[in-house]
Structure 1
Amino acid sequence: MTVFTAPESDGGAARPRLFLAGGISGVGDWQREAIGLLAPVWPALYNPRRPAYPVGEGARQIRWEFEHLALADAILFWFSHETVQPIVLYELGRWAGTDKPLAVGAHPGYSRRFDVVEQLGLARPGLEVHDDLESTCAAANALAGSDPDHVNGRPA
């Protein structure tokens, strides 16, 4: 398994590829735990959390995330409880309206959990919003072997 961290290019990574979408600023490094849970299943992961974030890299970071969300075969969304994470909410809304396979989790203490559950209930009926990172990763792992035309209740 290879983890591509912003701003690295994937260089044509093996498939399937999973993007780790969720908070970076003001939240714990949940990505490290997720990588450990996902590594046995996914050949490639896209991790937007950089080891060091240089000042003035905002546009480059946003472009990398935008491009790699599109390249990914599936997206794992995790909403930790520390902050609201408005960019992640935007990304979830954008990708919930597509056929891209998603695994979604929101900590029970996340202040916008109700909104995530209700909006996804409308956009993707039947898509479970998990309460913890472990079950969210398990749902993502189940997507790795799924036919992308039949995940999340979206037939081709």
Structure 2
Amino acid sequence: MVTYIECPDVYEPAPGDPPSVFLAGGITGVEDWQAEAVRGLAGLEVVVLNPRRRHFPIDDPTQTPVQIRWEHRALHLASVSLFWFPRSDASVTTQPIAMLELGAALDNPARRIVVGADPGFPRVADVQWQARLARPGMRVHTSLPDTLAALRYALHG
């Protein structure tokens, strides 16, 4: 079943572990889509690497490098990265870190990724164009359930 790892907990892959998934996408100023994604993966043999913490000590400046290091490692460690860009208010966030991570992932053909963007994401056209240019033919899904279905296929065919 699902093995759940949340930042800052450390995951050390071992022989025989199931594939792992990094939940890449917005955290600050957006709904907790990661919880929905974890529920949507129920029943799969998978390790879920979730950067969204239940309790992030926002007033502790030492936690920023901890968070960034954890995300960087998990993003590169995962068998597949699921990028989801949820609906957001452009005056609050356009999810710049997730966009940066997506660009890096798209430019590495060895990285397995699944991408989705809600039509209400302010930079949805940017996500679509980046994917189209870096990986012609890659589909950018428009709902989290569709993105999860594509992830299930990427994991288990």
The reply to whether TM is greater than 0.5 is: yes
How big is the shift at 1:126? 1.0
Kindly indicate whether residue 130 of structure 2 is the aligned counterpart of residue 119 of structure 1: yes
Contact 1:105 1:133 in 2 (8 A): yes
Q: TM-score, normalised by structure 2?
A: 0.89
Q: Distance in 2 between matches of 1:64 and 1:28?
A: 21
* AA of the residue aligned to 2:83: F
Which residue in the other structure is 1:16 paired with?
Answer: 19
Which residue in the other structure is 2:115 paired with?
Answer: 104
How big is the shift at 1:12? 2.1
Aligned residues: 146
Q: How does 1:1-156 map onto structure 2 within 5 Å? A: 1-12=2-13, 14-54=17-57, 55-56=60-61, 57-82=63-88, 83-98=93-108, 99-146=110-157
How big is the shift at 1:117? 0.4
List per-residue Cα deviations over 1:40-79 (Å, max 9, x = no partner): 2242000000010012210100000000111100000000
Q: CA RMSD for the aligned pairs?
A: 1.1
How big is the shift at 1:119? 1.2
* AA of the residue aligned to 2:117: A
Unmatched runs of 5 consecutive residues or more in structure 1: 147-156
Contact 1:104 1:129 in 2 (8 A): yes
Q: TM-score, normalised by structure 1?
A: 0.90
Which residue in the other structure is 1:154 paired with?
Answer: none
Q: Distance in 2 between matches of 1:39 and 1:90?
A: 29
Runs of 4+, deviation exceeding 4 Å: none
Unmatched runs of 5 consecutive residues or more in structure 2: none
Secondary structure of the structure 2 residue equivalent to 1:44 = strand
C-alpha spacing 1:97/1:110, structure 2 compared with 1 (3 Å): same
How big is the shift at 1:145? 2.1
